[in-house]
Chain A
Amino acid sequence: GAGVSQTPSNKVTEKGKYVELRCDPISGHTALYWYRQSLGQGPEFLIYFQGTGAADDSGLPNDRFFAVRPEGSVSTLKIQRTERGDSAVYLCASRKTSGGNTNEQFFGPGTRLTVL
């Protein structure tokens, strides 16, 4: 079946602009995660959704970052007033919460965000 997909694959924007990054999880996976990976670093947790609700948003760096998952499937990460320091690869992962191996997260290809 199809894996996690993310669009766009690359996004270049100017400082101060608003961006939206989309994640389409594996069908049936109720848990969804967003991570940010800066150059030379491992992925860093941003936010976790269980179904439609944000169960844990403790990783969001500030209030310019927001994410939604209105129907419990596709999620959108929104960044307002982008700053050059927001440049990174944004990864999405999904996980099933019933059946075997429920701790395995499946990652998307990422969106590379560049803020000029």
Chain B
Amino acid sequence: AQRVTQPEKLLSVFKGAPVELKCNYSYSGSPELFWYVQYSRQRLQLLLRHISRESIKGFTADLNKGETSFHLKKPFAQEEDSAMYYCALLAYSGAGSYQLTFGKGTKLSVIP
């Protein structure tokens, strides 16, 4: 079965410091990976997806199939980046559909 692992429950960094939120996955098929973000008192929303190879709010994430990783990075953290971040894998469920499997999330706290 597919699995997403986010090893850090909490990550605290100073404003202006680099950020790396780790995500590792296990899946026998071809993975499609996403990062979702949840700001305080807001709903879960898509931040970026690996197939788009885009930078959103200064964040990037590269899929490394050899290391089965999809780490989220930003060179200079901002206070408004403080939020809960979830890595998610789109995988075939075996029951007729593709499902999102989420990691447990990492809470990023940017210290002013």
A3 at the interface (CB under 8 A from B): yes
Segment from B55-63, B75-83, B95-103 that makes contact with A: B95-103
Contact status of A59 and B99, CB under 8 A, knowing A41-B104, A42-B105, A109-B43: yes
Contact B99 A45 (CB under 8 A): yes
Q: Report the separation of the CA atoms of residues A57 and B99 in the bound assembly, to the nearest whole angstrom.
A: 11
With a cutoff of 8 Å between Cβ atoms, the chain B residues found around residue A48 in the complex are: 97, 99
With a cutoff of 8 Å between Cβ atoms, the chain A residues found around residue B103 in the complex are: 42
Considering only residues 12-70 of chain A, those with a C-beta below 8 Å from chain B are 33, 40-45, 48, 50, 55-59
Contact A55 B97 (CB under 8 A): yes
Partner of A56, one of B9, B93, B102: B93
CB distance from A54 to the nearest CB of B (A): 10
Count how many pairs of residues, one from A and one from B, have CB atoms less than 8 Å apart in the complex: 53
With a cutoff of 8 Å between Cβ atoms, the chain A residues found around residue B102 in the complex are: 42-44
A90 at the interface (CB under 8 A from B): no
**Does more than half of chain A's interface fall in helix, strand or loop, or is it mixed?**
loop
Contact B90 A45 (CB under 8 A): no
Contact status of A103 and B96, CB under 8 A, knowing A41-B104, A43-B44, A109-B43: no
Number of interface residues of A (CB under 8 A): 25
Q: Report the separation of the CA atoms of residues A59 and B96 in the bound assembly, to the nearest whole angstrom.
A: 12
B74 at the interface (CB under 8 A from A): no
Q: Report the separation of the CA atoms of residues A58 and B32 in the bound assembly, to the nearest whole angstrom.
A: 20
With a cutoff of 8 Å between Cβ atoms, the chain B residues found around residue A50 in the complex are: 97
Contact A58 B93 (CB under 8 A): yes
With a cutoff of 8 Å between Cβ atoms, the chain B residues found around residue A33 in the complex are: 100
Further 17 A-B residue pairs, CB within 8 A, beyond A41-B104, A43-B102, A56-B97: A3-B43, A4-B43, A40-B9, A42-B4, A42-B103, A43-B44, A44-B102, A45-B93, A45-B99, A45-B101, A50-B97, A55-B96, A56-B99, A57-B95, A58-B94, A108-B43, A109-B43
Query: B residues near A, CB below 8 A?
Result: 4, 9, 32, 43-46, 49, 86, 88, 90, 93-97, 99-105
- Closest CB pairs A-B (n = 5): A42-B102, A56-B97, A58-B95, A107-B44, A45-B99
